[in-house]
Amino acid sequence: MFTTASPLSCPAVEALLGASDAINDAGHPEQALSTIAERTATALAAQATSVIMLDDTGDRLVFQAAVGECGDDLVGRTFSANLGIAGHVVRSGEITLINDATRDNRFYRGIDRKTLFQTRDVVAAPLRRDGRIIGVVEAINKKDGQFDADDAALLGVFANLAAAGAQQAGITDNDYRFALNGDVWELAYRDGDIETGHYPRSAGRGFTYFRELISRPGRPVSSVDLVRASSPAPAETPAPIDASTRQEAFDRTALRAIYERVEELKLQIQEAERDGNQTEQAVFEHELEQLREQLQQDIRFQGRVRSLTSESTDRKAREAVRIALRRARGQIARNMPALAAHLEASVIVDGYDFVYRPTEDVDWQL
């Protein structure tokens, strides 16, 4: 099984966010799948990509979306679910990476012969929904070099998005849902009409914070606990770590969010100045000055995090959580405005704690 070996690059994160936007905005699954195929090709620098679905019988695979020089010729073509690397992935349920397809007996040459395309290397991942495999996403021919384990892990994330895009109606079983299914956040909220949304796990920690808060309605959760809860789990037998080193690592996590907000504010100030909106510009400049003062207090000479008091740690964690929640809420607001408004009204900052206090009970599926 492949796992993400290194942090996602900015282009990969942008591609994932673009794919999730396509799922949320597209009126038809085919549109979402086509965009996912395009974004997958960009993120993996692949010459061709395709989303291949099992038909209703489960006996044949159908090209639902394809990108590349022969993409238009592939859409709608079918072949036996027992053939090729796609067939192998359907049967095994495993992400498969092959760097010399012509020498692998699982490779099916029929598609290449029909399209006059030459497959060199392939990485393919299964699409799963409700515990069953419903299709495969493939990337073919790395433009520079060969596919590696990082590409395979990233393709697995796109496969989860593609599965969500192909089965959008599946998340409406519960009117209120805030759940992480594999690498995809699946959201549903009813305020008269029902809203649904899909977001990649890489969209940010704010989604994790929201789920943690709505799982404890009415109960304050400290900002420090929220930041720590979203950090990667330690190894089963971790080596002893000096307390000061652990504290510094924690504070750097919180500081990173503040640095990101500083850069975001700089862009917002430029946009407000360009648009002649002096009120917005003044608000953004005031927040920027406050954050800069905070950073000056928390960083000692030569850029090392200074020895911290409990209060400064709490303050830094609160700012990190606040920024992450705002960023997540902004993404949700694009296609789920009612949910975004609900979260903004219901999540309250109380000192260094955050608490979810809805005006009425909501039966969330988490």
Say yes or no: 148 and 213 in one domain.
Answer: no
**Which structure tokens are listed for 330?**
């902004």
Say yes or no: 262 and 308 in one domain.
Answer: yes
C-alpha to C-alpha distance for 322 and 234, rounded to whole angstroms: 25
Angle subtended by helix axes 29-44 and 10-25, to nearest 10: 180
C-alpha to C-alpha distance for 53 and 271, rounded to whole angstroms: 44
pLDDT of residue 113: 82
Nearest-10 Cα torsion for 168, 180, 182, 9: 100
**Which structure tokens are listed for 201?**
């796990």
C-alpha to C-alpha distance for 134 and 146, rounded to whole angstroms: 27
Say yes or no: 226 and 350 in one domain.
Answer: yes
Say yes or no: 248 and 165 in one domain.
Answer: no
Residues across the chain: 366
Check: CB of residue 162 under 8 Å from CB of residue 36. yes
Say yes or no: 345 and 222 in one domain.
Answer: yes
Say yes or no: 169 and 228 in one domain.
Answer: no
Tokens 């009409």 correspond to 193
- Tell me whether residue 198 is in a domain: no
Q: Average pLDDT by consecutive 10-residue portion of the chain (366 residues)? A: 49 58 54 81 90 85 85 84 91 92 86 83 88 89 90 87 64 72 82 81 86 93 80 44 46 62 75 79 75 61 46 76 89 90 94 91 88
Structurally, the chain folds into a number of domains equal to 2
Parallel, antiparallel, or unpaired: how do β-strands 46-54 and 177-181 relate? Answer: unpaired
120: domain CATH number? Answer: 3.30.450.40
Say yes or no: 90 and 156 in one domain.
Answer: yes
Domain's final residue, options 132, 154, 173? 173
* Closest among 67, 40, 230 to 154, alpha carbons compared: 40
Say yes or no: 169 and 286 in one domain.
Answer: no
Say yes or no: 149 and 213 in one domain.
Answer: no
Say yes or no: 144 and 216 in one domain.
Answer: no
pLDDT of residue 17: 59
- Tell me whether residue 19 is in a domain: yes
- Tell me whether residue 189 is in a domain: no
- Tell me whether residue 191 is in a domain: no
Domain's final residue, options 173, 195, 220? 173
pLDDT of residue 20: 61
- Tell me whether residue 180 is in a domain: no
Say yes or no: 133 and 211 in one domain.
Answer: no
- Tell me whether residue 104 is in a domain: yes
- Tell me whether residue 307 is in a domain: yes
- Tell me whether residue 57 is in a domain: yes
pLDDT of residue 309: 47
Q: What is the pTM of this model?
A: 0.52
Say yes or no: 167 and 265 in one domain.
Answer: no
Question: Which domain covers residue 293, as residue numbers?
Answer: 204-235+242-356
